[in-house]
Amino acid sequence: MNVDVERLLWRLVDKYAPALPAHSGTVRPQWFDRAGDLVVGDGRVSWETPWCTEGGFTHGLPAGSHPVYVGTYAYTPDDWNPDAFRYATSMIVIPPAEPARIEAAKWDGDGYGDVHLIEDYAVLWGEEAMRATLPFGDDLVPHFVHGARDDIVAKGPHHRRANWVEAVLDRETGANAFVFPVGAENVTGYEIVDGDENLLCLVLVTYD
């Protein structure tokens, strides 16, 4: 991760998950890693829990391959067992444009303004990748998510890096998905655009 990208990521954190005493429903990430590249076609992209999210919000990314940066934090789900900590994702950043253009743009876009439920695991994917998994089973869980959850659990909660799973769902196009463990119940998204409404950066955050 180069210096310009890292500076941009932490500026985004200060904007969308500010530190105390500012109020924020989003847990501030403690680290950023590059998860990989999201391959999308002409469809829309969403970060959702397919068996939980209804009418999820979507974003139009340019067709192609885009870097995905994941912001994670450590937490203890059981106050009686402080050693049982785990890592969860609270921010996803996808920047189709270079950092200088993103930093020069206005960061005044609104979030969803509505409930967008997630639960335990959230899938980042485009429409092409989603369609490649149809039909879902009776539990509405895409088939690859079962294996992804097992892989994340098998790695153990103490592995921050690679605490997610990437799955290629369409071998012909390369359309893929990422499964991230989450500790919040909702997600919202912000689009940073230029004067012509071209998407420069997509910021997705969890919140309670």
* Closest CA relative to residue 182, chosen from 63, 43, 77: 77
Domain of 170 in residue numbering reads as 3-207
Contact 47, 122 (CB under 8 A): yes
User: What is the reported pLDDT for 1?
Assistant: 83
The residues that bridge with 178 in the sheet, in sequence order, are 124, 166
- Maximum separation of any 2 CA atoms in the chain, in Å: 53
Distance between CA atoms of residues 91 and 70, nearest Å: 6
Contact 176, 168 (CB under 8 A): yes
Place of tokens 């997509």: 202
User: What is the reported pLDDT for 157?
Assistant: 61
Amino acid sitting at position 202: L
* Closest CA relative to residue 4, chosen from 135, 74, 104: 104
Would you write out the chain's pLDDT as a tens digit for each of its 208 residues? 899 999 999 999 999 999 887 888 899 999 999 999 999 987 799 999 998 877 678 999 999 999 999 999 988 776 777 666 788 999 999 999 999 999 999 998 888 888 789 999 999 999 999 999 988 777 888 999 999 988 888 877 666 666 899 999 999 999 999 999 999 999 999 999 999 999 999 999 999 8
Distance between CA atoms of residues 29 and 207, nearest Å: 12
Q: Give one DSSP letter per residue of 99-163, joined into a string.
A: HHHHHHS--------S--B-BSEEEEEEHHHHHTTPSP-TT---HHHHHHHHHHHHH-TT--TT-
**Residue 13 burial (CB < 10 Å; 0-12/13-18/19+)?**
buried
Looking at the structure of the chain, the number of domains it has is 1
